[in-house]
Structure 1
Amino acid sequence: MSLAAFPEAVHVRAPGKINVYLGVGARHDDGYHALATVFQAVSLYEDVIARADDDFSLSVSGVADPASVPLDDRNLAMRAAKLLATATGYTGGVHLEIRKSVPVAGGMGGGSADAAAALVACDALWGTGLSPHRMHELAARLGADVPFALHGGTAVGTGRGDQLNPALARGRFDWVLVTSDEGLSTPAIYSRLDVHRAESGALADDPPLSLDVPITVLQALRAGDPHSLAACMYNDLEVPALLERPTLDDIINEGLRAGALSGIVSGSGPTVAFLCETPEIAQLVQNELAVSGRTALHVHGPVPGARIISA
């Protein structure tokens, strides 16, 4: 490809995720926990527009508090762009315009979606042409959720969550998400889990789980059956999230009373995800929660991972 053929800008869209199931093992010496999880990408997206520049910079819109999203190397999208440049020997820069819709620090992988979108956008902008395998490797270096944001759909994650195997999910699952204005720190929630287990005498597999995703979860997804899936949704981080923010329990009960099949804290929270039987019921649940003053969104999954919208 000639330099003249390179696009001036590349627009990439990447989805947020929910954890339909999340089992957390003991903390390893490297500070990470072993995970067994099922991700599902949902129709709440981050948009990243990459434009050629001499240096690296970014701007962010769509957040109530601009200070909640760093504009330097603390930002995962910035680190993604620089990592790609280093890995490929690219000597220029990029300006990343991030348009956020996924809640900041909401347990839905918004920062990871930004990073995945930045990798795809810069690869197209710079013409570096990385293979999917190499792109996955770079994504895994950035964070456990970034590889899934690249691939999307529904997948089983093991290791730190970055070792992915696609999971068959038939049909459409409808979710209502209740977001919070104030996020929760993922490292703090994991630490709270460790403390809770130590204080309660619980082992890493108490409640009993073997760090394998239960077959009942995979069967429910394969059948496209929201009732079966609602019966086996689980999150080890829900207890520490509720300890950190007890009002989340009130939200879960409100959603169940409004007609949701089940409600669960998404990842490290504080977003709560409600599984609903049909799109129509999801709309009713969303409306009921909105009337009570909650910020509620109706989304569906699974949806694809990071994709180029225009170039």
Structure 2
Amino acid sequence: MSSVTVRVPAKVNVQLSVGPLREDGYHDLVNVFHAVSIFDEVVAKESESITVTVEGNWADRVPLDDENLAIQAARALAKHAGRTYGVALVIKKAIPVAGGMAGGSADAAGALVACNELWGLGLPFEDLMEIAGDLGSDVPFSMLGGTAVGIGRGEQLSELPTGGQFHWVFAVAEGGLSTATVYAECDRLRAATSAEIPWPQLSDPLLEALGSGDARKLGAYLTNDLQPAALKLRPQLAHTLEAGREHGALGAIVSGSGPTCAFLATDAAHADQLATALSTTNVTRTAIPAHGPVPGAVVV
């Protein structure tokens, strides 16, 4: 086999509840992930060494050195296998970079699946998930896809049933936001209030909405504890969220650490209309309709 292509989705967090800062620098989370139909493709080709190139949207903003998560994933897999392997990774980007949609984590998941196939390792999914968890909190969900709740750092996953398909619009901002910077701002804002930080709990009404496929109810229960920090760092996002609501979104939320904003629509036609309306405003770079849930990393 000389080449393997893996398709891997973006995510939106329909609930992101953040607990107090832990001694290890992380936070305990209740993180309800939902995979959506904005996909990167990771192509793995035979090579003597491990390299990466990037094509498509935002390609110039993706690191090509050791900071690249796909490079880290390939190296971690080779180390797990106990042999020296090479691969030329080509990432075809469609997921926003530093946009709160797990684009880097998606590429890492894609690299794990693609290299496992290319190198003929035949490692089971469970082994790949263990490696994924060491790479980053969002990487295991990029492997799994669908809808799932993550606890701990977000890497301990349990699949959640959904009663149907949900339709979304994602407003992509100019520039990105560092996840670490947003968490640090969240901690700073909380310290300034001196209020006790509650232990994160899974929202029962949100679970019911997901299970019944009720988009209107789901829109009412979208929550993100990182949103105040993202809005503090990028105040213009408040205008983006308001524009989506004014154009009929059932729910509006910053996706993950931002700055991408997610809007829930009633159906596919409404999502197309909402994306068109937002694209005519000056509050977003582009607006992309999508649906979910969709599968995680898969060979195509």
TM-score under structure 2 length normalisation:
0.98
Q: Distance in 2 between matches of 1:15 and 1:92?
A: 26
Q: How many residues align?
A: 298
Cα gap change, 1:110/1:65 in structure 2, threshold over 3 Å: closer, same or farther? closer
Shift of 1:137: 0.4
State the partner residue of 1:72. Answer: 65
User: 1:63 Cα shift?
Assistant: 3.4
2:18 alignment counterpart: 24
For the aligned residues, what is the CA RMSD? Answer: 0.9
1:122 alignment partner, one of 115, 118, 123: 115
2:288 matches 1:297:
yes
**Hey, what's the Cα distance between the residues in 2 that align with 1:90 and 1:121?**
17
Which runs of structure 2 are paired with 1:38-187 in the superposition (5 Å)?
38-64=32-58, 66=60, 68-187=61-180
- Whether 1:188 aligns to 2:145 is no
Q: Please, what TM-score do these two structures have when normalized by structure 1? A: 0.94
How much has 1:202 moved relative to structure 2? 2.5
Q: How far apart are residue 300 of structure 1 and its match?
A: 0.3
CA-CA distance at 1:163 after TM superposition: 0.3
Tell me which residue corresponds to 1:3: none
**Equivalent position of 2:269 in the other structure:** 280
| 1:204 shift after superposition | 2.0
Alignment of 1:262-277 (within 5 A): 262-277=251-266
Whether the aligned pair in 1 keeps the contact of 2:58 and 2:93 (CA below 8 Å) is no
Cα drift, residue 65 of structure 1: 5.8
Distance 2:22 2:197 in 1: 12
Superposed displacement of residue 136, structure 1: 0.7
**Percent same amino acid among aligned pairs?**
47
CA–CA distance in structure 1, aligned partners of residues 209 and 95 of structure 2:
26
- Aligned amino acid, residue 276 of structure 2: N
Structure 2 residue 212 is matched with structure 1 residue 223: yes
Spell out, residue by residue over 1:8-48, the C-alpha distance to the aligned partner (whole angstroms, 9 max, x if none): 00000100000000000011111111100100000001100
Code of the aligned partner of 2:293: P
Indicate if the aligned counterparts of 2:168 and 2:290 stay in contact, CA closer than 8 A.
yes
Secondary structure (helix, strand or coil) at the match of 2:263 reads: strand
What is the DSSP-based 3-state SS (H/G/I as helix, E as strand, rest coil) of the residue aligned with 1:113?
helix
Q: Residue 59 of structure 2 contacts residue 93 of structure 2 at CA under 8 Å; is this kept in 1?
A: no
Match of 2:243 among 220, 229, 254: 254
SS at the partner of 2:53? strand
| Residues 120 and 65 of structure 1: CA distance in aligned 2, closer, same or farther (over 3 Å) | closer
Q: Structure 1: how far apart are the matches of 2:264 and 2:150?
A: 20
Aligned to 1:9: 3
Consecutive unaligned residues of structure 2, counting only runs of 5 or more, are: none
Task: Give secondary structure in 2 for the equivalent of 1:171.
Answer: coil
The 3-state SS of whatever aligns with 2:167 is strand
Secondary structure at the counterpart of residue 123 of structure 1: helix
Q: Secondary structure at the match of 1:176?
A: strand
Once residues 298 and 146 of structure 1 are traced to their aligned partners in structure 2, the CA distance between those partners, rounded to angstroms, is 23
Q: Which amino acid aligns with 1:128?
A: L
Relative distance call for 1:160 and 1:285 in structure 2 (3 A) is: same
SS in 2 for 1:296: strand
Larger CA deviation: 283-292 vs 299-308: 283-292
Structure 1 window deviating more from structure 2 (105-114 vs 280-289): it is 280-289
For the 8 Å contact 2:97–2:104, the answer to whether it is kept is yes
Q: Which amino acid aligns with 2:228?
A: V
Task: Give 2:54's aligned amino acid.
Answer: V
Q: Distance in 2 between matches of 1:279 and 1:202?
A: 41
In structure 2, distance between residues paired with 1:270 and 1:165: 26
Aligned-partner Cα distance in 1 for 2:110–2:195: 39
Structure 2: which amino acid aligns with 1:32?
A: Y
User: What secondary structure does 1:45 align onto?
Assistant: strand
2:266 corresponds to which letter in structure 1?
Answer: E
